[in-house]
A and B are shown apart, each in its own frame.
Chain A
């Protein structure tokens, strides 16, 4: 079948549910339940596995935040149900400090790594890379499968750490030693920390297997005509995400190895001059606790962009499709992604301005950190210009993309405050920081993820999500996110520190009782609305409105040239050839021109 034939293939092809049949590329093995749904090597199924595992973790992590917000909002009340749920961790219906810190720590770890890394880039890199570049699967489907199962193993170990007697790790998601190295300094740093480290090590393996695969696939497996500069921005973003992960996760891993040695084998990489009450002076001398922070943040900062870039890529794509207008400044968008990816490696010490860092070094990091504002500004202005004089369709995916831009602006601007060391010296580790990173990294990326789910759900399951529930989900979540995190800036400007179990004993911070209660209440409502979304998701997989046309959004990219329910191998017949970039919307009076359409002789150049 020629490319033309594929392109103009009638709708029957779309109804043809299984691409396997007669195709010579395919493995002809018979698919069993196990090989199709469990140990699947189909990138689309692996993407769904990542997504659903990520959702389970999002519910758990979100529930944890509801529980500790209960403590922050109602520090004087008791809730008998908590004792039923948590047992000795909520004796008498009040969460203990141990449990509070364990919840905060696990919430952070799980949301950052399991939900917004695995759940976000794991899902969409797997799902979109082969479909949008025109490949039948990843470079190594087997490695891809392993990537998911290592993630699954990491999940299981992390989950089991919740049930150990001394409790899960409770020293904050950054796990700074000596606290994380010494079981005698905190009960959570005993078995819970061992399990945390094992889980994270497995997770690093998972990300590396996935990341290498994404890079290899994007570089080698693009279909004919799909030059790098014709790739949709989603793919560019996922590419840089994978590069960031591959280069920075090993450094984190090395930091963890040293920590494992310090914990178990008597080394002193991070330990020196320590006297623990009840134990006495430790033998360790000569280590540097700050070394860990350098190793951690060398991943930790790129990690922020590992979370954010896929959301940026998907938002660029969805904004363009639903404005029926090309993305403004495609090359500038790629260039700014590239600049962000490079700078991501050069700013890690801005998390360490108050550790006693050499001031000159600190000043270099101020400069490099604030430089990130430039590519970020370019991206924001380009998104705004993309909307200008468009013809906007408010699909739920589009609305979440607009919400993403709004949140990225709000959270990004406070980064200019915190990146300037002389201001950070006041605001560091206050609620200002909590507000900043939750808006710009947490909620914004979550919005990117929701946008992606709403937009590509028809491709994933051949059905639509319910729009009305989508609109409710969007408006409540957007308003809720601002109601929760906006007032936290004011708490930060009062110097209120993060990670406090109770503020009532503090003359300087106790004035926010009512505000804390308000925030906790909104957090619960927002959490409930996420359950509505989950219901919508699972209900629509089976009962949603069916997709009846190949290209429901009128989109240019290749995934919409596959059958409605593509089988393993994605295209029936040959992979289509690409003749143009992905953003010919509204050109020459045509609503959209797919990437597979050859450039006409009379077409204008842009």
Chain B
């Protein structure tokens, strides 16, 4: 019913507009086309400057409404991200000045130089001086932006500091798997044909001794406040993207081609809850590359901890090797039960994601 009502209203508005438009054509014939054209010209000239004023007010009002909802007021949660923010402010200043200046000139000229019988058009076809001025000034501004940008770019994409920890991130439809190298600080090799959802979600080659102390977790990644972390990013199926908007970082997860990304978290999750005054605050990993029908639900969480909390967390987690081979786990008395126990959380997590 509402649909019909809305359609009826829309049609009615159309008919009214059409009648007015038609009538205006007849009126212009009666009044003389030239006279009514000039009148319309005045109205539109006035609207040009009205649009400028309302538009600039709108820009200001939009900022009032939504600035607080962006990430800018809370600042970057990573040390490197601060450079993104400072660059962003500088770029905003440069482009903002140009934006306001050119829009004012555009609509003001449109208003000021609207048709008038008194004005004689100024025949002005070219001026090399002017062309040179508005080539060189933008060129200088851009050079500054490029230099700053590239310095940051090489920092972001360069080698992380030596003390950085390493986490391997793997995207899959539709979730994230994280692997930590364990005590030996090295990952065991993996091969995608070994992947088995129940016991080997990454396809780890167990013959490689380095893999035996690797820790594998899903959905939540644990990082340490103040400690640089290097992510080695990959994907099991299609292209995903590790989107870390709080840290101002992002990198694609491409099947077959590992990529890397590093940053230094500045605040623990608990600190961020206080800082943002949001008790539900989470560092979320958003998949930023279209990856299928549940793309919008491919969420991971980063929990930034203090070193002690982190160490405790890692110590309490069993190496993934023992999930695959429970009988080799020295702590396990009854191997048969543990298979189910260990597999269940993984399954549950997968199911939860599928539901989302």
User: Interface of A with B (CB < 8 Å)?
Assistant: 81, 97-98, 101, 170-172, 176, 178-179, 182, 185-188, 271-277, 280-281, 285-290, 323-332, 354-356, 359, 362-363, 366-367, 370-371, 373-374, 377-378, 380-382, 384-385, 387-394, 399, 402, 405-406, 409-410, 413-414, 416-417, 420-423, 425-426, 428-430, 466-469, 471-472, 475, 478-479, 482-483, 486-487, 490, 493-495, 497-503, 505-509, 511-512, 515, 528, 531-532, 535-536, 545, 583, 585-589, 606
In the bound complex, residues from chain A placing their C-beta under 8 Å from that of B243 are 429, 495, 497
- Is B83 in the interface zone, CB < 8 Å from A? yes
Given A289-B239, A606-B125, answer yes or no on A277-B109 (Cβ-Cβ < 8 Å): no
Which partner residue on chain A sits nearest B131 by CB separation?
A332
Query: Which of B150-158, B215-223, B305-313, B319-327 forms part of the interface with chain A?
Result: B150-158
**B124:A326 contact, CB within 8 angstroms:** yes
How many positions in chain B have a CB within 8 Å of any CB in the partner chain?
125
Contact among B66, B150, B158 for A490, CB-based, below 8 A: B66
**A528:B238 contact, CB within 8 angstroms:** no
Given A507-B282, A508-B284, answer yes or no on A274-B237 (Cβ-Cβ < 8 Å): yes
Q: Which of B215-271 contact A (CB under 8 A)?
A: 233, 236-239, 241, 243, 245-246, 248-252, 254-260
Which partner residue on chain B sits nearest A283 by CB separation?
B193
**A420:B203 contact, CB within 8 angstroms:** no
12 CB contacts below 8 A, A to B, read: A178-B237, A178-B238, A325-B122, A329-B126, A354-B251, A377-B134, A388-B124, A392-B115, A426-B248, A472-B21, A493-B70, A606-B125
Q: How far is the CB of B315 from the nearest CB of chain A, in Å?
A: 29
Q: How far is the CB of B21 from the nearest CB of chain A, in Å?
A: 4
**B289:A394 contact, CB within 8 angstroms:** no
Apart from the given pairs A326-B125, A490-B62, 19 other A-B contacts in the complex at a CB distance below 8 Å: A179-B238, A281-B195, A325-B123, A359-B154, A363-B150, A366-B146, A374-B135, A384-B109, A410-B99, A413-B95, A487-B66, A503-B296, A509-B286, A512-B69, A531-B14, A532-B14, A536-B21, A545-B25, A586-B120
Given A393-B115, A417-B91, A471-B40, answer yes or no on A497-B288 (Cβ-Cβ < 8 Å): yes
**B138:A328 contact, CB within 8 angstroms:** no
In the bound complex, residues from chain B placing their C-beta under 8 Å from that of A328 are 124-127
Binary contact readout B81-99 vs A (1 if CB under 8 angstroms, 0 otherwise): 1011001100100110011
- Is B44 in the interface zone, CB < 8 Å from A? yes
**B126:A377 contact, CB within 8 angstroms:** no
A-B contact count (CB 8 A): 378
**A402:B153 contact, CB within 8 angstroms:** no
**A276:B55 contact, CB within 8 angstroms:** no
Q: How far is the CB of A188 from the nearest CB of chain B, in Å?
A: 8
Q: How far is the CA of A276 from the CA of B281 in the complex (A)?
A: 33
In the bound complex, residues from chain A placing their C-beta under 8 Å from that of B81 are 426
**B296:A500 contact, CB within 8 angstroms:** yes
**4 nearest CB pairs, A to B:** A495-B245, A586-B121, A272-B256, A356-B259
Q: How far is the CA of A154 from the CA of B304 in the complex (A)?
A: 52
Which partner residue on chain B sits nearest A504 by CB separation?
B296
Q: How far is the CB of B4 from the nearest CB of chain A, in Å?
A: 10
**A373:B25 contact, CB within 8 angstroms:** no
Given A176-B289, A373-B142, A378-B134, answer yes or no on A507-B250 (Cβ-Cβ < 8 Å): no
Q: How far is the CA of A370 from the CA of B21 in the complex (A)?
A: 45
**A185:B257 contact, CB within 8 angstroms:** no
- Is B22 in the interface zone, CB < 8 Å from A? yes
Q: Which of B1-37 contact A (CB under 8 A)?
A: 3, 10, 14, 17-18, 20-22, 24-25, 37
Contact among B84, B237, B254 for A276, CB-based, below 8 A: B237
- Is B59 in the interface zone, CB < 8 Å from A? yes
**B130:A385 contact, CB within 8 angstroms:** yes
Q: Which of B40-75 contact A (CB under 8 A)?
A: 40-41, 44-45, 47-48, 51, 55, 58-59, 62-63, 65-67, 69-72
Given A176-B239, A392-B113, A422-B150, answer yes or no on A487-B62 (Cβ-Cβ < 8 Å): yes
In the bound complex, residues from chain B placing their C-beta under 8 Å from that of A182 are 237-238
- Is B178 in the interface zone, CB < 8 Å from A? no
Q: How far is the CA of A271 from the CA of B3 in the complex (A)?
A: 47
**B106:A422 contact, CB within 8 angstroms:** no
- Is B164 in the interface zone, CB < 8 Å from A? no
**B152:A422 contact, CB within 8 angstroms:** yes
In the bound complex, residues from chain A placing their C-beta under 8 Å from that of B237 are 178, 182, 185, 274-277
**A587:B239 contact, CB within 8 angstroms:** no
- Is B198 in the interface zone, CB < 8 Å from A? no
In the bound complex, residues from chain A placing their C-beta under 8 Å from that of B106 are 384, 387, 402, 405-406, 409
Q: How far is the CB of B186 from the nearest CB of chain A, in Å?
A: 21
Q: How far is the CA of A393 from the CA of B33 in the complex (A)?
A: 14
